[in-house]
Amino acid sequence: MNMMGTIENSPVHSTEETILIDNRYVGSGHPCFIIAEIAQAHEGSLGMAHAYIDAVAEAGVDAVKFQTHIADAESSDHEQFRSGYFPQDKNRYAYWKRMEFSAQEWAGLAAHARERELIFLSTPFSHEAVELLDKLDMPAWKIGSGEVDNLPLLQCLIDTGRPVLLSSGMSSWPELDSAVDLLGAGNSEYLLMQCTSSYPCPAEETGLNVMLEMNRRYGCPVGLSDHSGTVYPGLAAAALGGCCIEVHTVFSRECFGPDVKSSITTAELGQLVAGIRFIQTALANPVDKNTASVSRSEMKRLFGKSLVAARDLTPGERLSASDLLIRKPGTGLPARHLPDIIGRKIPRLYSRGEFLDANDFR
């Protein structure tokens, strides 16, 4: 599965830990698993949700992820987050209600993703959502940052036997320890993702160091769930050895919604994918400078500089710096030998402009 070879010299510790998501190995030494997070960018439109699947497939990601919210199972009239942001919704409960798709509609989205050779994922926010998504045979579960300490929900996912991708945006180390202990007790395959629950997330709060610390602390594959609205953290995480990059995406920054500022556009998503693949190919192919120099010897001759007679030189004369010029190409005595031949006797006649021959100054 690893088309790019083994990724070496990464700050993420090499580990045998990998997880299998559908037919993709995710972990050290394997291609970075890239997830396009749609979340609620579809604004409750089923057609828009399908359009996003096509767009992110064209960008070249591995997986498309939605969020499955069932208002009656997770919310109440008391929920105040972003209340009033959406003019047609009197409260957050009404917003979640508008975001709902039926089981048949979710099945259609999953089928469409598979037709586009994407892995379909959706984050559940209730046991009822787990039950709905479980029937779609999703190959893995993604846990949002707000659900890390919802251990009953986590146990429900563990019981399905599928791998778990867990975001850590609101968690302390003790809370993560508890979640990881539960995953370990259930013999679950898991991957931890550094995430900062700030929308958009500024550079100084990205926490790339936390991604590395999670790898050292738990010895598992790690990645980044990014809310910066730029491609930079994803590229940096890949360069540091992150095994999974998740990023919110929208069609345009002119779209409506609170997550637009923390998302990249679908065009930028294609750039992110290309950049990550480039970085990982580079990491998987370390270069030996001596071997590279030999392979570019012809180019060295073209761009190199040689020592050239500044005037007619007669045999027996001793060379001074004023007798020599430095000119392209590098087909004569290399310019680096200038200090070595100052004061040497000229072995034969050289005409003005003639390149010195290395064999004459052995």
Residue range 109-161, pLDDT digits in tens: 999 999 999 999 999 999 999 999 999 999 999 998 888 889 999 999 999 99
The arithmetic mean of pLDDT across residues 320-339, rounded, is 95
**15: pLDDT strictly greater than 50:** no
Instruction: Give me the pLDDT at residue 7, please.
Output: 42
pLDDT digits (tens, 9 = 90+) for 41-73: 998 999 999 999 999 999 999 999 999 999 888
The arithmetic mean of pLDDT across residues 307-325, rounded, is 96
Residue given tokens 């050290």 in the structure block: 28
* DSSP secondary structure string for all residues of 286-313: ---HHHHHHHTHHHHHHH--EEEESS-B
Strand-pair category, 244-250 with 264-265: parallel
The model's pTM is 0.85
Numbers of helices and strands, H then E, in the chain: 13, 13
Question: Residue 35: which of 130, 107, 122 has the closest Cα?
Answer: 122
SS3 content of the chain, % helix, strand, coil (to 5): 40, 20, 40
Instruction: Give me the pLDDT at residue 152, please.
Output: 93
The arithmetic mean of pLDDT across residues 27-42, rounded, is 95
Across the chain, the runs of DSSP E, i.e. the strands, are: 18-21, 24-27, 33-39, 63-68, 119-124, 141-143, 164-167, 190-195, 222-226, 244-250, 264-265, 306-309, 324-327
Instruction: Give me the pLDDT at residue 6, please.
Output: 41
Burial 17-36 (b: 16+ CB within 10 A, else e): bbbebbebbbbbbbbbbbbb
Instruction: Give me the pLDDT at residue 47, please.
Output: 97
Instruction: Give me the pLDDT at residue 8, please.
Output: 45
With contact defined as beta carbons under 8 Å apart, do 26 and 243 qualify? Answer: yes
**9: pLDDT strictly greater than 60:** no
- pLDDT band at 5, cuts 50/70/90? very low
With contact defined as beta carbons under 8 Å apart, do 227 and 248 qualify? Answer: yes
The arithmetic mean of pLDDT across residues 180-195, rounded, is 95
Distance CA 27, CA 17 (A): 7
- pLDDT band at 81, cuts 50/70/90? low
Instruction: Give me the pLDDT at residue 298, please.
Output: 86
**300: pLDDT strictly greater than 80:** yes
For the chain, percent of residues with pLDDT exceeding 70: 92
Does 82 or 187 have the greater pLDDT score? 187
What residues have CB less than 8 Å from 327, skipping those under 6 apart? 305, 306, 308, 355
Domains, the chain, in order of start with CATH, read 18-284 (3.20.20.70), 290-361 (3.90.1210.10)
Instruction: Give me the pLDDT at residue 126, please.
Output: 92
The arithmetic mean of pLDDT across residues 206-226, rounded, is 96
